[in-house]
Amino acid sequence: MNMKKLPVFVLLAVAAVLPLFVKSEYFMHICVLAMMYIMLTQGLNLLTGYIGQLSLGHQTFLGLGGYASALLAIKLGVPVLLAMLLAGLFTVVCSFLIGLVTFRMRGSYFVIMTTAFAEIVRLVINNSTAVTNGPMGLREIPPPVIFGLIIKSKISSYYFGLVLAVITVFICYRIVDSRTGRAFVALREHEALANSVGISFARYSMVAAVVGGFFAGIAGGFYAHYTHFISTDVITFSYTVTILLMLIIGGKGTIMGPVLGAIIFSFVPEALRAVDNLRLPIYGLILMISVLAMPKGLMPVLSRAYGRIVYKLAPGQKTPAAKGE
Amino acid sequence: MAFLDENRLLEVRGLSKRFGGLAAVQNISFDLKKNEILALIGPNGAGKTTTFNMIAGSIAATSGSVKLAGEELIGKKPYQIASCGLARTFQITAVFFGLSVFENMVIASHRLQKATMLDSILYSKKYRQEEREAREKANAILRFVGLEEMANVLSGNLAYGQQRLLEVAIALATEPVMLLLDEPAAGLNPEETVSLMRLIGKIRDQGITVLLVEHNMRLVMEISDRILVLDHGEMIAEGSPDEISMNPQVIEAYLGKGVEE
């Protein structure tokens, strides 16, 4: 087997058998949420990690997807899986339209625009009481049903989420490992040079936004049907901070980095529950320290360490080159 | 294009640029034959770089027309112009500094690859074949410019002269019909300049037409088939290197004492 991919398969295997060893419902709940975060950070990673444009509005698509899927299921009786897919397509359209405006900007202007859009969407949802039930949120959202099987328990939700997360990571990995992914990186590294070899910023930033929007929409649907409840709380700024932490500390511009970040930062808040008031200051400290100690995130550090181990055990083996380094 | 006049691979007509009240480039017209090396020279502020950037699409022309193989370039964006087969280098060295030399090269195959995202998600035959071709071509071009040893080096760690070569290699990897070089010899030592001259000759032998803006007169005189002289935004002379070096107007405007030496 390819040594480079071995850790990914090990991680996958651990994820697959995890429920056999974990008896705590609460722990499983965190694991389910981690799956949602993986879907969310993968999409953001395309735009922010690979193209290098910081979006502070990504969780908006989580909210939009969650609302769309929930409303389709509650008001129109659409089967949940179909509702989730339609919600994904809805967020694709939304991210396309928002992208048409925001991708005229770069850098800090782009950041401000995305923040503004997130806030606009939150306010619109909060004030469209007739449809969205306003700040009260939507309740009693039905669970997904797959081949007659109701996905309601923690364990079945976990496996459902795992499948969605693995598909998301796989598709993002395949996109990044192609001319599309190279175009992303080219735009991040040197936009004028990227243009001169035929790469358009407008086109590829839109591709990243639309793909990311799709997965965020699916993640939103997954979240809404899992918790049976959605409100505009998911579009608040603290969610933005959380997914950015996952992305930056995990290692933006790598595929596995945000996955690790998502897993770690799904559990960190729980570990800090005893000192809840200090949670945000501690987040800040963690961010500062990790950015100073490992500016490219956890992934390149782990990747190098793993490369050394492989090299020691089998000097002839091809060591894993840290992708995106 | 049914018919391509090889004498007019590039047709520039009445190209002008005004920056507010300043006429940076005024009514420039010239043709480029296929396989020709044409140098654009002139004193600082003559409008060379502005002309260059208008052709490459990075500055919008005020008026005029630029046609490559009959296709109008004015009004197109730089990435569209690249897709027409026109490649360029930059005055200030531009490579993807954070990536390896080889990764730089593979990126540059972009416009030639047709595999869709679905192809790469499904790992289709088309995708695999194009990836293999891109890697092979990257290696071939690195050999062509003499950077094959450096393939795995981070391009930001290359020596300056090697970065200039990589820049040319990136442009070549787009398989252009025409190459625009913006002061390729700037900052190179005499030895590197000589090998650059050889390289430009080799590029022309591959059937690629070259337009260059350059200050290094030795390079210009030695490799150009034709020279165009700009001064104060206007074309003051056009001709072979010999004709240009004899032209009194040019000597006055630009070469000055340098030629009398």
- A175 and B121 in contact by Cβ < 8 A? yes
Q: Flag whether pLDDT at A325 surpasses 70.
A: no
Residue of B83, B98, B99 lying closest to A198 (CB–CB): B83
pLDDT grade for A269, boundaries at 50, 70 and 90: confident
Retrieve residue A220's tokens.
């939103």
pLDDT at B255 (0 to 100):
56
Residue of A174, A182, A193 lying closest to B94 (CB–CB): A193
d(CA B196, CA B212): 12
Retrieve residue A53's tokens.
């444009």
Please report which helix (H) or strand (E) contains residue B213, including its range: strand B209-213
Q: Which residue has the higher pLDDT, A303 or A216?
A: A216
Q: Flag whether pLDDT at A240 surpasses 60.
A: yes
- A174 and B58 in contact by Cβ < 8 A? no
pLDDT at B57 (0 to 100):
93
Cβ-Cβ contacts under 8 Å between A and B: the total is 92
Mutation for testing the A interface, residue in B89, B117, B119 having most A CBs under 10 Å = B117
* Mean of the per-residue pLDDT values of chain A: 90
- Write out chain A residues lying below 8 Å of B58, CB-based: 192, 195
Residues 64-103 of chain A with CB under 8 A from chain B are none
- A190 and B123 in contact by Cβ < 8 A? no
Q: A52 to chain B nearest CA, in Å?
A: 13
- B78 and A178 in contact by Cβ < 8 A? no
- A194 and B107 in contact by Cβ < 8 A? yes
Q: A184 to chain B nearest CA, in Å?
A: 10
Query: How do the pLDDT tens digits run along chain B, 261 residues long?
Result: 445 677 889 999 999 999 888 889 999 999 999 999 999 998 888 889 999 999 999 999 999 999 999 899 999 999 999 999 999 999 999 999 999 999 999 999 999 999 999 999 999 999 999 999 999 999 999 999 999 999 999 999 999 999 999 999 999 999 999 999 999 999 999 999 999 999 999 999 999 999 999 988 889 999 999 999 999 899 999 999 999 888 888 887 765 554 444
- B110 and A196 in contact by Cβ < 8 A? no
pLDDT at A85 (0 to 100):
97
pLDDT grade for A316, boundaries at 50, 70 and 90: low
- A192 and B94 in contact by Cβ < 8 A? yes
Task: Considering only CA atoms, give the Rg of chain B.
Answer: 19
**A62-108 residue pLDDT tens:** 999 999 999 999 999 999 999 999 999 999 999 999 999 999 988 89
**Contact (CB, 8 A) for B238 and B226:** yes
B123 interface with A at CB cutoff 8 Å = yes
Non-local (6+) Cβ contacts of B162 within 8 A are B147, B150
Residue of B80, B109, B121 lying closest to A174 (CB–CB): B121
Q: Flag whether pLDDT at A1 surpasses 80.
A: no
Task: Considering only CA atoms, give the Rg of chain A.
Answer: 20
Please report which helix (H) or strand (E) contains residue A125, including its range: helix A107-127
pLDDT at A315 (0 to 100):
67
Nearest CA in chain A to B152: A321
* Secondary structure class of A24 (helix, strand, coil): coil
A189 interface with B at CB cutoff 8 Å = yes
Q: What is the ipTM of this complex?
A: 0.92
pLDDT at A320 (0 to 100):
46
Retrieve residue A100's tokens.
């048409």
**A286-313 residue pLDDT tens:** 888 888 988 888 888 888 888 888 888 8
Q: B94 to chain A nearest CA, in Å?
A: 6
- A195 and B78 in contact by Cβ < 8 A? yes
Contacts 24+ apart (CB under 8 A), A305-312: A306/A7, A310/A3
Residues 154-183 of chain A with CB under 8 A from chain B are 171, 174-175, 177-180, 182-183
pLDDT at A237 (0 to 100):
84
B127 interface with A at CB cutoff 8 Å = yes
B94 interface with A at CB cutoff 8 Å = yes
